[in-house]
């Protein structure tokens, strides 16, 4: 995508600013997608949750966020093992539920994860719903 936007740069690198307010001010889908691609998920899930609640968030964002945040490790898990996993687990289950319920729609962005045939075979074997691994294409 080239260089990152000023807003994304502020969110990623500046301290003592209201990052959630900047997320809310994002006014195009590509910039929101860019943030998902560059965010450090070790910094917590408040910002990714803000992305999920953003009015421009669509299926391409949600699927990209699902895989880039390693939320698939919680697929079909009933609970987390220790308290350090709680935030990631709750985020992943929230995102998974919204995707499966059809909350996010394909609108303006296409998205395709880089799965090979073996990956797809294994996802099908693990009973992953197709929505998680099939390309998202705009109508």
Average pLDDT of span 47-63:
97
E strands, the chain, in order: none
Instruction: Determine, yes or no, domain membership for 38.
Output: yes
**What pLDDT does residue 2 have?**
57
Instruction: Determine, yes or no, domain membership for 125.
Output: no
Instruction: Determine, yes or no, domain membership for 130.
Output: no
Number of structural domains found in the chain: 1
Instruction: List Cα–Cα distances, 138 to 43, 60, 75, 105, in angstroms.
Output: 31, 9, 26, 9
Instruction: Determine, yes or no, domain membership for 137.
Output: no
Q: What is the 3-state secondary structure (H, E, C) of 98-113?
A: HHHCCCCCCCCCCECC
CA separation for the pair 58, 108 (Å, rounded): 8
**What pLDDT does residue 67 have?**
96
The residue segments making up the domain with residue 15 are 6-109
**What pLDDT does residue 84 have?**
84
31-35, 37-41, 47-51, 78-82: range with lowest mean pLDDT:
78-82
Instruction: Determine, yes or no, domain membership for 49.
Output: yes
Mean of all residue pLDDT scores within the chain: 93
Instruction: Determine, yes or no, domain membership for 34.
Output: yes
Instruction: Determine, yes or no, domain membership for 118.
Output: no
pLDDT surpassing 90 at residue 28: yes
Each residue of 73-119: pLDDT tens digit?
A: 888 777 777 888 889 999 999 999 999 999 999 999 999 999 999 99
pLDDT top residue among 70 and 78? 70
């Amino acid at each position: 995508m080239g260089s990152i936007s000023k807003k994304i740069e502020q969110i990623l690198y500046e301290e003592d600013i209201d990052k959630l307010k900047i997320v809310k001010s994002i006014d195009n889908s590509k910039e929101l997608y860019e943030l998902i691609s560059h965010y450090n998920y070790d910094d917590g899930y408040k910002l990714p949750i803000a992305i999920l609640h953003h009015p421009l968030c669509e299926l391409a964002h949600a699927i990209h966020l699902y895989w880039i945040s390693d939320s698939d490790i919680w697929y079909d898990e009933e609970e987390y093992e220790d308290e350090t996993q709680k935030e990631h687990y709750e985020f992943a289950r929230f995102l998974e539920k919204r995707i499966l319920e059809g909350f996010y729609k394909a609108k303006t962005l296409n998205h395709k994860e880089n799965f090979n045939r073996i990956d797809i075979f294994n996802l099908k074997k693990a009973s992953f719903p197709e929505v998680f691994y099939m390309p998202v294409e705009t109508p």
